[in-house]
A and B are shown apart, each in its own frame.
Chain A
Amino acid sequence: MLEIRNLHVTVDDKPILRGLDLAVKAGEVHAIMGPNGSGKSTLAHVLAGREGYVVTAGEILYRGRNLLELAPEERAREGVFLAFQYPVEIPGVANIYLLKAAVNAARKHRGEPELDAMDFLALVKAKLRLMEMDESLLYRAVNEGFSGGEKKRNEILQMAVLEPRLAILDETDSGLDIDALQVVAAGVNAMRSPERAMILVTHYQRLLDHVRPDRVHVLAHGRIALSGGPELALELEQRGYGWVEAKAAKAAEGAAGVPS
């Protein structure tokens, strides 16, 4: 599904990702963990095509295609979905309008007919129940005046409605109380399928109590410093990130001067 090779990314000329490799297969859920500033969110933004993130080396293949040559909207229509760490408020644009425009943009891209109002509403209502969200949220402006938890749930609602092939959740668990976390986790688990890959970017273990990943990766100094099974998350919870970082720093020192 996704193959990242030797990815180097700079932001404002500052190197953030420094040779990241990652392969995610359909049906898998990968957790990307790491301390603040390790490049987790940068990875998420690069995958979604955010401007200002400059890829200086490496490649990203999505279903065998060069993802980097696609505009953000093309990625979305091809099935890449990013649940934003900070969902953006858009006054004056109703939530339901965005959902409908998003669904139909993807359908049109696939050569399918646009959903009519009735079918669309039925689809959305089913997903709303899954996310335990009130229907009235549909008619409010996108994220405007939403609480932190509502915004995150709204991201997962969008994911549920859009049914992406590759979902990247950027710190979706941060700022959630335990009830909201469970709702979000239930939404994510409901979305697990053999055709879908998911990347959970998270700082803490706690989302992984509810969503069991297939693989856990630790990002430090712009590359994957350590990978393992779900038990790695528990170890990190107990030992912290310090020991991984120290190891990564040592490795980076060794690699210094070597052209990437």
Chain B
Amino acid sequence: MSVRQALLALLEQGPMYGYQLRSEFERRTGSTWPLNVGQVYTTLTRLERDGLVAESGADGEGHVVYRVTDAGRDEVAAWFTTPVERTQPPRDELAIKLALAVTVPGVDVGSVIQQQRTATVSALQDYTRLKRAGRAADPQDAGDMAWSLVLDSLVFAAEAEVRWLDHCEARLRRAQLDRRDDVPAAEPTSRKEATR
């Protein structure tokens, strides 16, 4: 859904044709979610059908230019003033994988967690490298700032994933120790300290 609103928001700044919309979208989001131009035109067709944009002739090179309608402006305003819905969490492959790893016998959950953590920290290093490479550096340039904030969003999401993995690991280890302590022949609690 967000592509539709994003294109509308771009058109609110002035009439544009499909390729321009695509490159503006990618410039501001750092090509994090690449759009193909077919997707842009399909979206424009639907927006036109719904009365949110209208064709506004062609430029000198024959590109069909679109402009936003009043109804389209209202839609953009509504988008910016309404929070993104969180009622339906997107399917999360990692959470599903861990849920199954702890319930399917014979899976080494510890190594599932560690491998994922290494991979996620590697991705974090990649994002941080992009930040350092200075491609999102100028805080006074709105486009740079937009891309930089998108990058930060990826950084914080990856960090949250690592924190969640740490948390899962700690909980699983505690549960494992508690199980051992429950066994009648188990040694007294000093063992817990030694293995922490």
Q: Do A and B come from one complex?
A: no
A interface list, Cβ under 8 A from B: none
Interface residues of B (CB under 8 A from A): none
